[in-house]
Chains A and B, each alone.
Chain A
Amino acid sequence: MDTYVITVLSNIGMISFVALSAYILLLSGQISFGQQAYFGIGAYTAGIATVMWQWPIAGALVLGALAASVAAGLVGLATLRLSGIYFAMATLAFAEIMRIAAELFVYRREIGGVETGPDGIDGFRDIRYFFANDISPFQSCLIVYALLAAVLAALFIVERTRGGRLLRQVGEDPLLAEVQGIDVMRVRMAAALSAGAVAGLGGGLYAHLMTYVEPRSFDIMLGVHALAYGLIGGLGTALGPLLGVLIDIGLLESTRIFRGYRMIVFGGLVAVLLIVRPRGLLDEVAISRIRQALRRRRHAGG
C-alpha cells in the first residue's frame, strides 16, 4: 500500500482515540477542552518506558494509559463538581499546565551509548521501538486499528449495558439522575478515568508511530478538534466521533482540493452543522430511528 495512504490511515486511527476520549466525557455531559493532556501523558510515559527502561511495547502502552487515567482521576477530584464552562476552562488550564510542564521536562540518560530522553521544548525524539523491532508502517497501522477496534468494542458493550444508560442519564440531566438514585459524581469519575485511559493509549501509539512527541503535539488545537469530531459526527453512537475524524482528516486534510483553505471550510462546516444538527450527524434521534428500522426489517424478514 502507498506510504501516504498508510500515514493518513494511521493518523485517522490515532486521532480517533482522542476523539473517543472527548466523546465519553460529552456523553457524561461534560465539555473538556483538555483531553489532549492525557494524550500527552500517555505519549511521554509510553515513550519513556520503551526507550529509557526498555519495556516491551504492550507494557509501555498499558502504562501510558494507566498514567493518563490516574492523572484524569486526580484532575477529576478537583473539577468534576464544576459544570459547563467552568469545567471546560479548568480542563483547558490543566492541559496547558501539562504542555508547559513538558516544555520544562528534561530527563536524559545514556542508553546504548547514545544520550536520549525528553529534552524540554525540543520534545522527546528517537522513540524507535517499531523501527528497532522491524515493525513496518503497515503493521503498526494494523496495531492502531486493532486497539481502536478493541476500544470501540468495549464502548459498544458499555452502551448496551447499564453503564451506558447511566452515562447518558447523567449527561442529559444530572439532577434528574441524582433524584432517581444515581450517584452522579461516581458516574462522572468513571467517565473521566476511562476517557483518560483511552486518550493515553492513543498518545502511546502516537509516540511510537511518529518516533517522537513534543509539547506542541498536544496543544489546545488537538483538544478542541477532538471535541468537535464528536459534535460533528454525532453523539448517538461511538461511531459518531470516528465519522467526524474521517470527515476532517480523511476528506479535508488529505485530499488536496482544500489546500490552504481547510480551516475555512472545516470551520464553516462545523458552525453550520451545529445549527442544523446540534448533536451531530449520528445523533440519538438518528440512531434510534435506525435501530427501529432495523428491528422492523428483522421482524418482517421473519
Chain B
Amino acid sequence: MKVRSLRTRMGATAAAAAAAGITMVYAATPAAAVTTQYVSDNCDYRNCTEGDLYMNYHSVASSGNGNPSGSFAAFYGNQYNHAGETISYNGTDAGTVNYVFVFASGQGDGSGQLVKNNAASANNCSTVDGYRVYYNSGYAGHSQSIPHYWSCASSTNLDATLKNNNASSHFA
C-alpha cells in the first residue's frame, strides 16, 4: 500500500479546508480529536485496485494530446465531494479522519492546492471503467464524460474555461 498522504502547514490548510466546506469536528478533550489528513490519491485510505481518474491542475493545449505540466490528484471509484471526505472508522472522534484532497506535492504548479473546483483537465487510466466529472458535489449539475477510449497518457480539458468546475466524480 503506498504511503502518500501529505501534511502541509496546519494553519494554512485549516483555513483552506474551512473554505472548502470541510467541517472540522473536535471533541471536548484534545486527545480524542478528529484528525485531518491531506491526500492526493483516495486509494491512500480506500481499498482500491488500479485504474484511476486523474484530475490535473493545468489544461492541455488540445485534448487527446499528452499531459499538462504541473500537479495532479488521482481518484478511484465514486467521490461525492472533491473537497474531501470524513470517514468514521469506529464511530468515535478518535477513529474519525477528515481526508482533504490536494494536488500532489513536488509536481510543479498547483502542488498542495485543493482539488475541488481547481482542476482544468482529466485523464482516465482505467482498463475497464469510464468516469464522469460533475460540476457540483453530490453528483449534481452538468456532468462531463471522461471515457477510457483515449490513451491514459492523453488528457481531456474540462468544459469550463474558468476553474470552478469539478466537485464530484463517479464511475460512468
| A and B from one complex | no
Interface of B with A (CB < 8 Å)?
Answer: none
